């Protein structure tokens, strides 16, 4: 437990400095928590539950320490008094103490919590309740939500084929990154995400008549103008624009390879089945992330291994 004391019986840092430090520590903890969440596969229910429990405990410990430091500063007590306040707080979970024993219980002093301190305590309690609700909602989603059910269904489909998910990050490039991973796994051409985007865009440009009928304005349903078509191709090639059915078809033709898409809510589809080579298999997830649709890659289940997805993040994303 951290405590800060200075000379003349006064505690430092001052109230404002203490508040700023607490905010900084909370922000740093949030960053670490997010990093840990990103490192755990979405469909790993057991590890996600363990992580949620650890996060809740760590946040509670941090808040308890902050509470002790605030009370110690408000009461302007010595180091020994602050320690006594901390132990009583841990035992009674109270923000009001009427007396604290000092020096083997020979001296008693009153600790009165100021109105400002009470407001801070109330705000902190409200924040803890909010965080608890968030954790509860996340746990419910992990065990009962659409994302959990979709992940379980896809895992079953893959396991029947001796495969499991190989996650890729959701940064806009997920479809291309999943294809890249599959090409690498089969010792195919070493193409980067950027090169795959260029191949897809080039094929679409060269076969405008094949793709133009499917490119329409969302609001009016009108076909793209020539300028809009060119802009679309540029976005496919040069931005993190998400890839879908059209881009999958373009990639299949550009690579002369079938692309097989496994999904929970519909039968598996194959694009480019006119090419008689083993297909590249992708996973389509509708509920994987808050942003929506996402593609992952697959890999064989190791001998003696489980069916849950794994692997480190690569150059990829949604």
In a domain, 72, yes or no: yes
85 with 166, same domain: the answer is no
Examine residue 218 and state whether it is found in any structural domain, yes or no. Answer: yes
- Per-residue pLDDT band for 98 (boundaries 50, 70, 90) equals very low
Tell me if 153 is assigned to some domain: yes
CATH at 254 = 3.90.70.80
Domain residues for the domain of 26 are 15-144
Selecting among 22, 148, 174, 287, the annotated active-site residue is 174
Query: Pick from 94, 116, 144: which residue ends a domain?
Result: 144
In this prediction, residue 303 has a pLDDT band, given cuts at 50, 70 and 90, of confident
Q: Is the pLDDT of residue 92 over 50?
A: no
248 and 187 co-located in one domain:
yes
Catalytic residue among 164, 173, 253, 294: 294
Q: Tell whether the model's pLDDT for residue 96 goes beyond 80.
A: no
Q: Is the pLDDT of residue 216 over 80?
A: yes
Q: What is the pLDDT of residues 177-195, one digit of tens each?
A: 999 999 998 876 679 999 9
> Residues 151, 286: one domain?
yes
Q: How confident is the model at residue 159 (pLDDT cuts 50, 70, 90)?
A: very high
Predicted local distance difference test score (pLDDT) of residue 218: 80
Catalytic residue check, 171:
yes
Whether residues 209 and 288 share a domain: the answer is yes
Identify whether residues 79 and 110 lie together within a single domain.
Answer: yes
Last residue of a domain, one of 117, 144, 171: 144
Report pLDDT for 118: 78
| Same domain membership, residue 150 and residue 134 | no
**Least trusted range by pLDDT, from 41-55, 91-105, 165-179, 260-274:** 91-105
Is 136 in the same domain as 253? no
For residue 244, is it within any domain? yes
- Domain check: are 125 and 159 in the same one? no
The model's pLDDT over 47-87, given as tens digits with 9 standing for 90+, comes to 777 777 777 777 777 777 777 767 766 664 444 444 544 55
Q: How many domains does the chain have?
A: 2
Express each pLDDT in 135-145 by its tens digit.
666 665 555 56
User: Looking at per-residue confidence, does 38 or 234 come out higher?
Assistant: 234
Residues 152 and 279 in one domain: yes
User: Active site includes 174?
Assistant: yes
For the segment 194-199, the average pLDDT, to the nearest whole number, is 97
pTM of the model: 0.52
253 inside domain: yes
Same domain, 162 and 266: yes
Say yes or no: 190 and 295 in one domain: yes
Q: Is position 290 within any domain?
A: yes
For residue 84, give both structure tokens.
């006594």
Per-residue confidence (pLDDT) for residue 19, from 0 to 100: 77
Assigned domain for 233 exists: yes
Q: What is the average pLDDT score of the chain? A: 76
- For the chain, the DSSP string reads ------STT--SS-HHHHHHHHHHHHHHHHHHHHHHHHHS-TT-HHHHHHHHHHHHHHHHHHHHHHHHHHHHHHHT--HHHHHHHHHHHHHH--S-EEEEEETTTTEEEEE---HHHHHHHHHHHHHHHHHHHHHHHHHHHHHHSHHHHHHHHHHHHHHTTTEEEE----SS-HHHHHHHHHHHHTT-----HHHHHHHHHHHHHHTHHHHGGG-B-TTT-PBPPHHHHHHHHHHHHHS-PPP-HHHHHHHHHHHT--EEEEESSS--EEE-TTS-SPPEEEEEEEEEETTEEEEEEEEEPPTT--SS------S---
CA distance 184 to 195: 14
Q: What would the pLDDT profile of 256-279 be if each residue is shown by its tens digit?
A: 999 999 998 889 999 999 999 999
Q: Please indicate, yes or no, if residue 204 is contained in any of the structural domains.
A: yes
Q: Which of 15-24, 104-113, 289-298 has the lowest average pLDDT?
A: 104-113
Residue 312 banded pLDDT, cuts 50, 70, 90: very low
- Domain check: are 166 and 277 in the same one? yes
Any bridge partners for residue 216, and if so which?
A: 223
Boundary-marking domain end, from 144, 168, 186: 144
């Amino acid at each position: 437990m951290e405590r800060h004391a200075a000379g003349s019986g006064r505690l430092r840092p001052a109230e404002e400095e203490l508040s700023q430090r607490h905010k900084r520590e909370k922000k740093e903890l949030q960053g670490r928590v997010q990093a840990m969440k990103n490192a755990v596969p979405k469909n790993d229910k057991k590890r996600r539950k363990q992580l949620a429990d650890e996060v809740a405990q760590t946040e509670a410990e941090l808040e308890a320490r902050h509470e002790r430091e605030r009370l110690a500063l408000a009461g302007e007590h010595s180091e020994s008094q602050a320690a006594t306040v901390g132990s009583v707080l841990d035992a009674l979970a109270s923000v009001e103490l009427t007396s604290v024993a000092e020096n083997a219980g020979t001296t008693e002093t009153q600790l009165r919590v100021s109105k400002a301190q009470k407001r801070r305590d109330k705000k902190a309690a409200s924040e803890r309740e909010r965080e608890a609700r968030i954790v509860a909602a996340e746990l419910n989603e992990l065990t009962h939500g659409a994302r959990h059910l979709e992940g379980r269904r896809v895992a079953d489909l893959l396991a029947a084929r001796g495969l499991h998910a190989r996650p890729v990050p959701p940064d806009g490039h997920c479809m291309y990154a999943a294809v890249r991973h599959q090409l690498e796994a089969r010792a195919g051409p070493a193409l980067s995400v950027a090169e795959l985007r260029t191949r897809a865009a080039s094929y679409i440009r060269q076969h405008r008549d094949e793709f133009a009928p499917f490119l329409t304005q969302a609001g009016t349903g009108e076909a793209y103008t020539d300028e809009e078509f060119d802009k679309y191709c540029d976005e496919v090639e040069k931005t993190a624009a998400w890839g879908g059915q059209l881009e999958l078809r373009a990639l299949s033709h550009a690579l002369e390879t079938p692309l097989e898409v496994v999904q929970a809510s519909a039968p598996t589809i194959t694009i480019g089945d006119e090419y008689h080579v083993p297909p590249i298999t992708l996973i389509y997830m509708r509920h994987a992330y808050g942003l929506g649709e996402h593609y992952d890659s697959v890999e064989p289940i190791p001998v003696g291994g489980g069916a849950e997805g794994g692997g480190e993040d690569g150059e990829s994303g949604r």
